[in-house]
């Protein structure tokens, strides 16, 4: 069939997925310098597993195999980025099966999944490997970016700043790094324990700006997530109301990675600006709630998954402004 329009834009699903994947690569490189080669191994295993699981799933489900479109690669990268660097390589393999086969293809494949596959993968791993997923942290190289290569899984076991923050308060975090400016400095550069791809704030922000420039994402979701986390932490996160540290809250854990790369996933996020703001604000609020009152030190993953669940409702409720609809038409 040959139907109008006969010309199309140059953007393709593949181009989007591969571009976002490429935007994530600097984070991988920095994680290698920060945590050692183990991060490369885990990321490679995660990506290869996701691609393999996608191909096998699609074969089994008698659907066209679309591994070339880069979406499995992207999921693989994101899955690895929300795993601690010190886990066994079996962990990402299982995460990939859950993310790609269960959360994506059993729900209909690309575009039909309700929940972010990479985060379903992480949530599954949190349930199945609770110890590894909450304690296999590695200490970043103390001596600067390039001087240090770590090899062992059991190199240094340490606690994440959020864990310290939850149990010892902000003074505990400051004690670990020396001073508050030193804390910010380390956090911006990613020199802190954390999941593989979540620590380098500067690189995540640069990646987000690039995606904004490419018009692949809009500002609404990242900005509302960040502002919401900052606001609710400022109000409720201190010893008294309005004394929490919003900057530390945004720079720690997976807030930035989640805000820029996870919450903006087309499939699982709403499309309309107001809905995006509600969605992002909700993610921030739930994140802070889990951090302050929940059992886990970090809540971004569950916050995004919970808001994914109400995306269809937001999408139904918030539609584009019609040009000049007839009276009584659905809005």
Partner 1 sequence: MKQTLLTFLDGGVHPEEGKDLTAHLPVEVMPTPDEVEILLSQHFGAPCQPVVKRKTMVTEGDLIGEVTKGLGASIHSSVTGKVKTIGSAPHPMKISTQSVAIETDHDAPQKEYSPCDWQALSREELLARVKNAGIVGIGGAGFPTHVKLAPPPQAKITTLILNGAECEPYLTVDHRLMLENADKIIEGAKIILAILGIGECHIGIEANKPDAIEAMSKAAKDGCTSGDCRISVDALKVKYPQGSEKQLIESITKRRVPAFGLPMDVGAVVQNVGTAKAVFDAVVLNKPLYEKLVTISGLGINRPANLSVKIGTRLKDIVAFLGGTKENLAKVVLGGPMMGFAIPNLDFPVTKTTSGVLFLTNDEIDTTPYSQCIRCGWCLEACPMGLSPNEVGIYVEAGRAEETGKFGIFECFECGSCAFVCPAKRPLVQFIRIAKMKAKR
Residues that bind partner 1 (CB under 8 A): 1-9, 11-13, 15-16, 66, 69, 108-112, 266-267, 271-272, 319-326, 329-330
Shortest distance (Å) from residue 115 CB to partner 1:
13
- φ and ψ at residue 129, rounded to 5 degrees: -125, 60
Query: Smallest distance, Å, CB 330 to partner 1?
Result: 5
Length of the chain equals: 331
Helix axes 161-177, 180-189, angle to 10 degrees: 120
Question: What is the smallest separation between the CB atom of 315 and partner 1, expressed in angstroms?
Answer: 8
- Which CB sits closer to partner 1, 8 or 293? 8
**CA–CA–CA angle 227, 112, 221 (5° rounding):** 10
Closest distance of CB 14 from partner 1, Å? 8
Q: Which is nearer to partner 1, 293 or 331 (CB)?
A: 331
Q: Which two tokens stand for residue 132?
A: 């590894």
Q: Cβ 125 to partner 1, closest distance in Å?
A: 25
Whether residue 4 is preceded by a cis peptide bond, meaning omega within 30 degrees of 0, is no
Of 141 and 272, which has the nearer Cβ to partner 1?
A: 272
Choice between 11 and 175, CB closer to partner 1: 11
Smallest separation, CB 9 to partner 1 (Å): 5
Question: Closest CB to partner 1 among 80 and 314?
Answer: 314
How far lies 74's CA from each of 15, 60, 79, 151, 189, in Å? 12, 22, 8, 25, 23
Helix runs in 82-189, H state only: 90-96, 117-128, 130-135, 161-177, 180-189
Q: Smallest distance from the beta carbon of 97 to partner 1, in angstroms?
A: 21
Of 242 and 323, nearer to partner 1 (C-beta) is 323
DSSP conformation class of 61 = T
Residue 114 Cβ vs partner 1, minimum distance, rounded to whole Å: 11
- Phi, psi for residue 144 in degrees, rounded to 5: 110, 170
Residue closer to partner 1 by CB (options 142, 329) is 329
Nearest to 188 by CA among 173, 199, 172: 199
Using the minimum distance from each CB to partner 1, give the nearer residue, 182 or 274: 274
**101-122 burial code (b ≥16 CB/10 A, e <16):** bbbbbeeebbeebebbbbbbbb
Asked if 253 contacts 162 with a C-beta cutoff of 8 angstroms, the reply is: yes
Helical (H) or strand (E) element with 186: helix 180-189
Q: Would you list the DSSP string of 259-315?
A: IIIITT-TTTS--SHHHHHHHHHHHHHHHHHHHHHSSSS--HHHHHHHHHHHHHHHH
């Amino acid at each position: 069939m040959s139907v109008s329009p006969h010309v199309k834009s140059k953007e393709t699903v593949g181009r989007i997925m591969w571009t976002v994947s490429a935007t994530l690569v600097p984070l991988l490189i920095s994680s290698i310098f920060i945590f050692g080669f183990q991060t490369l191994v885990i990321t490679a295993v995660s990506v290869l597993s996701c691609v393999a699981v996608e191909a096998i799933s699609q074969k089994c489900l008698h659907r066209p195999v679309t591994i070339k479109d880069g979406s499995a690669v992207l999921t693989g990268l994101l899955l690895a980025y929300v795993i601690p660097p010190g886990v066994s390589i079996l962990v990402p393999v299982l995460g990939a099966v859950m993310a790609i086969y269960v959360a994506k293809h059993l729900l209909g494949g690309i575009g039909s999944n309700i929940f972010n596959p990479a985060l379903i993968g992480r949530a599954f791993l949190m349930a199945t490997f609770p110890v590894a997923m909450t304690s296999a942290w590695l200490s970043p190289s103390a001596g600067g970016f390039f001087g240090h290569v770590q090899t062992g899984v059991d190199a240094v076991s340490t606690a994440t700043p959020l864990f310290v923050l939850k149990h010892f308060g902000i003074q505990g975090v400051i004690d670990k790094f020396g001073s508050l400016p030193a804390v910010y400095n380390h956090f911006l550069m990613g020199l802190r324990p954390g999941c593989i791809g979540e620590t380098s704030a500067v690189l995540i922000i640069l990646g987000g700006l690039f995606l904004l420039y490419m018009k692949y994402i809009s500002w609404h979701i990242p900005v509302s997530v960040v502002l919401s986390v900052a606001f609710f932490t400022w109000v409720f996160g201190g010893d008294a109301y309005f004394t929490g540290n919003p900057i530390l809250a945004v720079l720690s854990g997976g807030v930035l990675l989640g805000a820029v790369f996870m919450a903006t996933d087309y499939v699982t996020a709403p499309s309309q600006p107001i809905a995006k703001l509600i969605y992002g604000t909700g993610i921030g609020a739930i994140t802070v709630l889990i951090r302050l009152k929940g059992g886990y030190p970090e809540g971004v993953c569950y916050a995004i998954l919970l808001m994914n669940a109400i995306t269809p409702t937001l999408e139904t409720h918030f539609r584009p402004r019609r040009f000049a609809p007839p009276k009584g038409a659905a809005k």
